[in-house]
Amino acid sequence: MPEGWRWKCQPARREKKKGRAMGGTITGVRKKIEERNGSEEDVEGIQQREVTIDKERWRIITVYNREGSKDALDRLRKVIVEREKGNMLIAGDFNARTGREGGCCVKSGEEEGGKGKERRSRDGVINKQGYELIKAVEERGWMILNGRKRGDEEGEWTYEKAGGRSVIDYGITNLEAEEKIRSFKIGCRRESDHYPIMIELGKEYIREERKQKREAEMIQDWSNEGVEYFRSNIEKIEWEKEDVKGGWEELEEGVKRAVKMKRRGGRKGVGWVLWWDKECREKKKEVNRAGRKYRRRKMGYNEFVVKRREYRELCEKKEAEQRRLEEGEIKKITTEAQAWKFINRGRKKREGVSNEIKMQEWEEYFMKALEGVKERSVGEGEEEGRRVGRKDEEGISREEVNIEIERLKKGKAAGIDGIRNEAWMKGGDKVGKKLEEIYRKI
């Protein structure tokens, strides 16, 4: 799971020996948000977190009532009745259809049990489980947020499968917290049959990572996607200047413009995977646009299903390709060091320096790798050995340029020209040929 969060998990359970496990809940609270570590034990299908937002305590309860059973509501009542005072927010999948009921909330000046503002909903059906949920809400003087707060004025659908739609996921709060909830929205993500519920509490503020993202400097992107972008731009360049100074300035400017830039320090969100790329992002945006059109009845269900199926097939294809690449890399692993390097790459953790390696071993290794010694100048014979297949009057050969490029290391900081080693390593024949022409004229 992503770092920077305090995670709490309630595992799914398998009722029979065969079949898949069902249920299970995961909740996360950012480490920057103050949380009270209570002694309450989680009840099946219910998770509690108590946090401080804008100097106020909030008790947030996540519910998963798989079958909309009355027993689950009784467990919820028992959990809440112990400490019902204060800001309370209940959210989750209740598997109950409440129609337009459940908007009850006792206001000052109203009679006990009086109705508040009528709730709107696209789902007008009330089922047996819905009546039980409405009863629990009205008994406690709570209110259902769906169809009442800013952002969900129409009471949007929260669940959709095989062309059928319903409202079975809810946000519920008490009188004390109702006015402190800024908005309630139903999202439009298509990874699940359930739409996400987004609730804003307290005053509006810029999340810390968004603020840092705005202020962060731009850095060069040398991922697989960035390399493809760089090579594509390099191939479009036409070299014009032939003199040494002009040719180098043209090459330097062309390389800088060809590099793809990205913001430094972008965090990996929940669900981040290695194979996710620009094509997946664009396809996901397309599906979400189609989902919004379908929600507004501007697109038919079959057309929307086709878009969603294409997106899922693309993700499955990318995942399978990444798996094949990793399997190929695993087959080439022959040592324990290579195995740990592969594992740590997935973990994205910095590899520490081994304390078992002595300083003498480091010196011998780097002297061999860099073809150097502690104190001596390079002799004429050795200098001649580095001139690969050329005479003095011929200047530097293309083969020598390629050898020096191959010796460059990845991930090194750029020099005063702002160009990293990857630009020369990934530039291909076009950049190599231009370098050779410049060196021959020096």
The CATH number of residue 89's host domain is 3.60.10.10
pTM: 0.59
Q: How much is the pLDDT for 310?
A: 92
Decide which of 347, 381, 412 is a domain's last residue. 347
In terms of domains, do 331 and 360 share one? no
Residue in the block written with tokens 């005053």: 203
Decide which of 324, 347, 370 is a domain's last residue. 347
**Number of domains into which the chain is organized:** 3
In terms of domains, do 442 and 376 share one? yes
Decide which of 155, 183, 205 is a domain's last residue. 205
Token output for 375: 């104190």
Note whether 122 and 155 are within 8 A (CB): yes
1 or 247: which leads in pLDDT: 247
Provide the pLDDT confidence category of residue 354 given band limits of 50, 70 and 90: low
1 or 288: which leads in pLDDT: 288
324 or 115: which leads in pLDDT: 324
Q: How much is the pLDDT for 11?
A: 86
In terms of domains, do 45 and 175 share one? yes
CB-based contacts of 406, cutoff 8 Å, min separation 6: none
Residue in the block written with tokens 């501007």: 298
CB atoms near residue 57 (< 10 Å): 13
**Buried/exposed code over 251-280 (b: 16+ C-beta within 10 A; e: otherwise):** beebbeebbbeeeeeeeeeeeeeebbeeeb
Rounded CA separation 400/291 (Å): 56
Averaged pLDDT score across all residues of the chain: 80
In terms of domains, do 307 and 393 share one? no
In terms of domains, do 150 and 54 share one? yes
In terms of domains, do 125 and 70 share one? yes
In terms of domains, do 161 and 197 share one? yes
pLDDT digits (tens, 9 = 90+) for 92-146: 999 999 998 876 654 444 444 444 557 889 898 999 999 989 988 888 888 899 9
382: containing domain: 214-268+352-442
Token output for 299: 């697109």
Say whether pLDDT at 65 is over 60: yes
pLDDT digits (tens, 9 = 90+) for 366-402: 777 776 655 544 444 444 445 555 555 566 777 888 8
Q: How much is the pLDDT for 297?
A: 79
| Phi-psi sector, 4: left (phi>0), alpha (psi -120 to 50), beta | left
Rounded CA separation 155/100 (Å): 9
In terms of domains, do 188 and 278 share one? no
CB-based contacts of 264, cutoff 8 Å, min separation 6: 216, 217, 218, 219
In terms of domains, do 256 and 111 share one? no
Note whether 25 and 10 are within 8 A (CB): yes
Q: How much is the pLDDT for 107?
A: 46
CB-based contacts of 203, cutoff 8 Å, min separation 6: 54, 182
In terms of domains, do 119 and 259 share one? no
Rounded CA separation 381/106 (Å): 95
Q: How much is the pLDDT for 154?
A: 87
For 34, phi then psi, to 5°, come to: -70, 130
CB atoms near residue 340 (< 10 Å): 13
In terms of domains, do 198 and 320 share one? no
> Strand 5-10 and strand 56-64: pairing?
unpaired
pLDDT digits (tens, 9 = 90+) for 333-351: 888 888 888 887 766 545 4
In terms of domains, do 233 and 196 share one? no
Q: How much is the pLDDT for 390?
A: 55
Q: How far is CA 150 from CA 53, 179, 255, 268, in A?
A: 20, 11, 49, 30
